[in-house]
Amino acid sequence: MFRQPIEILLSLPAVFLAISFHEFAHAFVADKLGDDTPRKQGRLTLAPLAHVDWTGLILFALFGYGWAKPVQVNPSNFKNKKAGDILVSLSGPAANFLVAVLSLLVSVALMAINLSAPAMDTILLILNYCIYLNIIFGILNLIPIPPLDGYRVLKTLFFRSFTRIFVAYEKIGLFILFAFLLFGLFDLAVSRPALSVYQSFMTAGQRILQLLQ
């Protein structure tokens, strides 16, 4: 159940990147759309410490599941409240997929250069974690369970029509998340899709590498 120390150590850079870019994306898009709440709270930064929830980070290190400090947004400051709220919600997962793509490109570039530095294998392994964990973060946050981003999109679209359902759903949201963990449902909803996307990334990376060699 507990993760190996070396796995924790190698995955931490990927976790910090995933958290920082995810939360910064929320703050950046909200700021651009007219809400300065994240800026006032010091969240308009890529500095990991501004976004880390230490309890969530420790749990991730030990078990592979955790959370970051959520960015607070006031949709009333957006010109179009509904569209703005959806864009802010989707920006986090989008940022994670972008980091995964950039990590893949850096990894391919390093392999194409074919440096024989002693630390190269470790660097490539860390980049591999960056690819996979950002895919995991991106897919996980699209699940429509509170307090994840996918739920916020769903709530923004349909809250007025199904207010009572959403209020009741939010009360049991954390229990649903724990049920997903306890009964292995995240494997079906997140891990398997993430593995498929990861394998597609690796295949694309190999093709790019072949073209460069």
**Residue given tokens 């660097």 in the structure block:** 123
In sequence order, what are the beta bridge partners of 52? Answer: 68
Residue 52, helix vs strand vs coil:
strand
The tokens for 131 are 């690819």
Tokens of 186: 């995240």
Q: How far apart, in whole angstroms, are the C-alpha atoms of residue 204 and residue 197?
A: 11
Burial class (CB in 10 A: 0-12, 13-18, 19+), 49: exposed
Query: Phi and psi dihedrals of 147, rounded to 5?
Result: -100, 30
7 is catalytic: no
Indicate if the alpha-carbon torsion angle 3, 202, 109, 14 is positive or negative.
Answer: negative
Closest CA to 86 of 27, 156, 144, 135: 156
Given the residues 23, 31, 35, 149, the one annotated as active site: 23
**For residues 141 and 93, what is the distance between their CA atoms, to the nearest angstrom?**
6
Instruction: Judge contact between 103 and 198, C-beta under 8 A.
Output: no
Q: Which residues are catalytic?
A: 23
